[in-house]
Amino acid sequence: MKVGFYPGCSMKGGAREYQESVSALAKVFDIELVEIPDWNCCGATAAHNLNKELSLSLPARIMALAEREGIKDIVVPCAACYNRLSVTQHELAADPALCSKVASLIELKYEGTTQILNIIQFIDKYITDRLEEKVVKPFNYKTACYYGCLLVRPHSILKFDRVEDPQSMDTLVKKAGGDAIDWAFKTECCGAGMSVSRTDTVARLSGNIMKDAADRAAEVIVVACPMCHSNLDMRRPEINKFLNEKIDIPVLYISQVLGLAVGLDAKTLGLNRHMTEVNLPEKPVKEAAVTDAPKKVVPTQKLEA
């Protein structure tokens, strides 16, 4: 099975482990991710603040290239990239004159026929039905699912999950054997692209997120956005300084969580690339409910990156 794949800039650089884990997870389920040839930056996060036509042309070119290759579905793991492609597709569909102008600028035929899937939608469409039967090491940890801003907003365009209390990632964590906790900051802003220009703001906003997760005894935070991961993981020294306490909760991508559950090792999933050490304690596996055909379960092991 082949599915189009748009890695975006971050997954070729600072979020390399995200691409590694998505690709490894796809292989487990016999899915071939076909990278869009000659793809370009989608323009996140600044282009739409500087030039309207440029902000639409960059994502439109990506989708036009996919159309040219006959790609119907594009999985876009980065929440910021997913947001820009989806918003562009919506705006061009609503304004034929603007669509024609953008097509002229990118010098490609654009029809807007590709389906843009974020990482959770991709998993739901291609993996979820087979996920539980593949789980061999249940992810038996209290998990705070952090969706951030761009995965669920604007709801009128994305129409993905609930804006204030989304549940789709929680459901996946539960299917992987985890305990998705109820908490208050799952869609609050982490500071987004201000990580370099306003590190103090990122420390405050991300600090509030980490504090709430820690206060609710979360053992792991799981994300679906490299920008969110960068702020919560890489900026941990600034966060701890702001909070005046040390919080060492690791931050994993949803693809890494599911990868661990289906038996992939830490190195394959890129856990060694995280700034905050991923060192989850070994825990006994919860006993599964008795069924007609019980599934063999391998105990969870300590992660060694």
Question: What SS3 state is found at 141?
Answer: coil
pLDDT at 289: 43
Low-confidence residues of the chain, pLDDT below 50?
288-305
pLDDT at 272: 95
Strands (E), 11-61: 32-35
For 1-42, write each residue's pLDDT tens digit. Answer: 899 999 999 999 889 999 999 999 999 999 999 999 999 999
pLDDT at 297: 45
Is the dihedral angle over the CA atoms 258, 261, 262, 267 positive or is it negative? positive
pLDDT at 48: 66
Question: What SS3 state is found at 180?
Answer: strand
**Cβ neighbours for 265, distance < 8 A, ≥ 6 positions apart:** none
DSSP state letters, 217-279: T-SEEEES-HHHHIIIIITHHHHHHHHTS-----EEEHHHHHHHHTT--TTTTTGGG-SS---
Domain ranges of the chain: 2-119, 132-273
pLDDT at 50: 78
For residue 266, what are its two tokens? 């830490």
How far is residue 103's CA from residue 143's CA, in Å, rounded to a whole number?
A: 44
Task: Supply the CATH classification number for the domain 132-273.
Answer: 3.40.50.11810
Q: Domain spanning 2-119: which CATH class is it, in words? A: mainly alpha
Q: Is 203 within 8 Å of 241 (Cβ atoms)?
A: yes
pLDDT at 196: 78
